[in-house]
Amino acid sequence: CKILRCNSEYVAATLHLRGPGRGAAFCTALRSYSLCTRRTARTCRGDLAFHSAVHGIEDLMIQNNCSKEGPTAPPRPRPPAPNPQGFESLDICDYERSFLYKHGHPPGFQHCAAFGDPHIRTFHDDFHTCRVEGSWPLLDNDYLFVQATSSPVAKGSNATVTSKLTIIFKNMKECIDQKVYQAELDNVPAAFQDGSVNGGTRPGGSSLVIWERSPGRHVEIRANYIGTTIAVRQAGRQLSFSIRAAEEVARAFTEEQDLQLCVGGCPHSQRMSRSPRGRGRVPAETARALCREMLPVEDVYFQSCVFDVVTSGDTNFTMAAHGALEDARLFLPDAEKLHIFQ
């Protein structure tokens, strides 16, 4: 389906048309757009962008009193394709670029993170500390499945930490083969389970890549075909997960996929207070002093750091909270939402 090509030719043909005198040229561009969509109708029948374009053209022709009969502009010459598979295949596997073609503005993004005890920052900027033990889905939608496996932070403790992360990038026709990434404590690989570092041999395989930021400690996975970036880190005896996902991707799930910690946070029965209770493994004031060195703003990241150090006795948890804050600084679309105070 080459509807993105039709969209881009229409945008290019009308960019310079402004003001009341644009009528005839604008109608010519609309008729050309309509002709282009008709040529792609057979291959695009099941494509939402195609149907959106068809209805949009009809509305614009009515609004601008354009006749369906009349001259059409000759098709614009295409630039030479930068790869042998062709320009269109790269368009389809570049989410931000194709979204701009379809909608005329860049996509919106959302951020979620899981780190430490685990603490969950949801796509909606809710913040929970969970006692979840075993395997729980962070994400479960049409494009991604992310599962975190938790185990007790210390013997006899109610607190848990993420000890294993499984991320499945689901098969997407022109762009990638299904890829599975798995990280465990002391094993944060810079490759998918099949040993590859990209999305495979399909035309858009390079739209999914793994970058090693710190050997064995920090990897970044860029999934440009769905406008998504994921960071996986190990700090001390815990793994952390952060994601910047396009809003459309984050919302692509059904009612049956209702348990997603990134969407709804922890179930009520699994939520814990971040106020350390009883005798911890490190005095609270000592933990506060350690956390303040890495996190000078006493927000929920600071509170989580104190909780984790007191509960576990592991000072490396200061790095877990600091890493999560740095990921949020990079991934959050709105910098004013970086700090959450409760």
Rg of the Cα atoms in the chain: 24
Say if residue 89's pLDDT is above 50.
no
Say if residue 84's pLDDT is above 50.
no
- Strand, coil or helix: 264: helix
Residue 77 domain-assigned? no
pLDDT in tens, 147-200: 999 988 767 666 688 999 999 999 998 899 999 999 999 999 999 999 999 999
Residue 173 domain-assigned? yes
Q: Is the dihedral of CA 278, 281, 285, 289 positive or negative?
A: negative
Pair 148, 241: CB distance under 8 Å: yes
Same domain flag for 60 and 184? no
Same domain flag for 199 and 144? yes
Banded model confidence at residue 18, pLDDT cuts 50, 70, 90? low
pLDDT for 56: 86
Residue 282 domain-assigned? no
Of the residues 248, 270, 292, which one is the last residue of a structural domain? Answer: 270
Same domain flag for 12 and 145? no
Q: Is the peptide bond before 118 cis (omega within 30 degrees of 0)?
A: yes
Same domain flag for 10 and 117? no
- Residue 157 per-residue DSSP state: -
- Give CA–CA dist 306/288, Å, rounded: 6
- CATH of residue 248's domain is 3.40.1000.10
pLDDT for 167: 98
Given strand 134-140, what is the order of strands in its sheet? Answer: 134-140, 144-152, 160-169, 179-184
- Give CA–CA dist 149/154, Å, rounded: 15
| Range among 37-41, 70-74, 278-282, 330-334 with highest mean pLDDT value | 330-334
Minimum mean pLDDT among 20-29, 91-100, 300-309: which range? 20-29
Same domain flag for 123 and 253? yes
Of the residues 230, 251, 270, which one is the last residue of a structural domain? Answer: 270
Does 333 or 8 have the greater pLDDT score? Answer: 333
Residue 227 domain-assigned? yes
Phi–psi pair at 243, nearest 5 degrees: -140, 140
Residue ranges of E strands in 134-237: 134-140, 144-152, 160-169, 179-184, 208-214, 218-223, 228-235
* Mean pLDDT, rounded, for 210-227: 96
Residue 177 domain-assigned? yes
Which residue range(s) make up the domain with 265?
Answer: 109-270
Say if residue 88's pLDDT is above 60.
no
Same domain flag for 188 and 43? no
Question: Can you spell out the DSSP letters for 59-106?
Answer: HHHHHTT--SSS--PPPPPPPPPSSTT-HHHHHHT-HHHHHHHHHSSP
* Mean pLDDT, rounded, for 232-260: 94
pLDDT for 199: 94
Domains: count for the chain = 2
Phi–psi pair at 242, nearest 5 degrees: -135, 145
Same domain flag for 214 and 142? yes
Pair 145, 136: CB distance under 8 Å: no
Give 161's strand partners.
Answer: 151
pLDDT for 82: 44
Banded model confidence at residue 9, pLDDT cuts 50, 70, 90? confident
Same domain flag for 49 and 159? no
- Give CA–CA dist 165/114, Å, rounded: 11
Same domain flag for 47 and 174? no
Of the residues 219, 253, 270, which one is the last residue of a structural domain? Answer: 270
- How many CB atoms within 10 Å of residue 12? 11
Same domain flag for 138 and 242? yes
Same domain flag for 129 and 57? no
Residues 6+ apart with CB under 8 A from 293: 318
pLDDT for 40: 86
* Predicted TM-score of the model (pTM): 0.73
Same domain flag for 26 and 117? no
pLDDT for 323: 96
Q: Write down how long the chain is.
A: 342
Residue 79 domain-assigned? no
Mean model confidence pLDDT for the chain: 87
Start-to-end C-alpha separation, the chain: 49
Residue 199 domain-assigned? yes
Residue 95 domain-assigned? no
